Structure 1
């Protein structure tokens, strides 16, 4: 099971960072791989909340629907794909650190991220996606840090 795990420090309080990350419409603003995303269930965010979107990995568009399986605001959330060519679980944690919030993003893929490209591509796709996610987390930190400065 390929795993991508990356972290970044954001100079904002945990509740503020978690709230931003929990809003699906914000994801394309900071995540380089997400083309679009939106919440598709009504009501407040929690276990069972679903959203759908599309990601672009190495130029290939992947449409998906996912559902929160864990939602412990403002510390941790996990979601699992319910419709996607690549089965995945995404876990995001926010923990208070001296300079703000450490955000850790972890993606576990049951079938391998290269599944849509072919199994031989798994190591390449996983490595490229890891680099992309680290850049996305750095975008998140810059975005939230700049909002705070305004």
Structure 2
């Protein structure tokens, strides 16, 4: 199972970072592989909340639906795919540190992305997505650090 994990320090309190990242419409503004993202359940966000989105990886578009399996405001959120071409789990963690908030984003995905690229392509896809994630986290930090 390929895993990509990256972290960045954002010079904002964890509560502000959390509010931004738990607004699904904000994801395409900073996460470059996400084309669209919206909440499909009506209740306030929490365990059981579902988000729908579209991701583009190496030129291929993937529709997905996730459901939050863990939700601790301003600390950790974990969502697992419940619909789509491949399975994945995404975890966001926040930790107060000197200078702001350490934001860690981790994605665990099926090998071969469910057969879309094949298992032999795992190292290539993982490396490409790792670069994308690094750039996205830097983009998030720039966006939130300059929005004062």
**What TM-score range do you get, normalising by the shorter chain?**
over 0.9
Task: Map Cα deviations across residues 27-80 of structure 1 (whole Å, 9 max, x no partner).
Answer: 000000000000000021000000101000011001100000000001000000
Structure 1 unaligned regions, length at least 5: none
Three-state SS of the structure 2 residue aligned to 1:5 is strand
Q: Give the Cα–Cα distance (whole angstroms) in 2 for the partners of residues 89 and 64 of structure 1.
A: 11
What are the equivalent positions in structure 2 for 1:1-150 lying under 5 Å apart? 1-113=1-113, 115-148=115-148
Three-state SS of the structure 2 residue aligned to 1:19 is helix
| Contact residue 87 and residue 111 of structure 1 kept, 8 A | no
Q: Give the Cα–Cα distance (whole angstroms) in 2 for the partners of residues 45 and 112 of structure 1.
A: 31
Taking structure 2 as the reference length, the TM-score comes to: 0.97
1:113 shift after superposition: 3.5
1:143 shift after superposition: 0.4
Alignment root-mean-square deviation, CA: 1.0
- Aligned length in residues: 148
Structure 2 unaligned regions, length at least 5: none
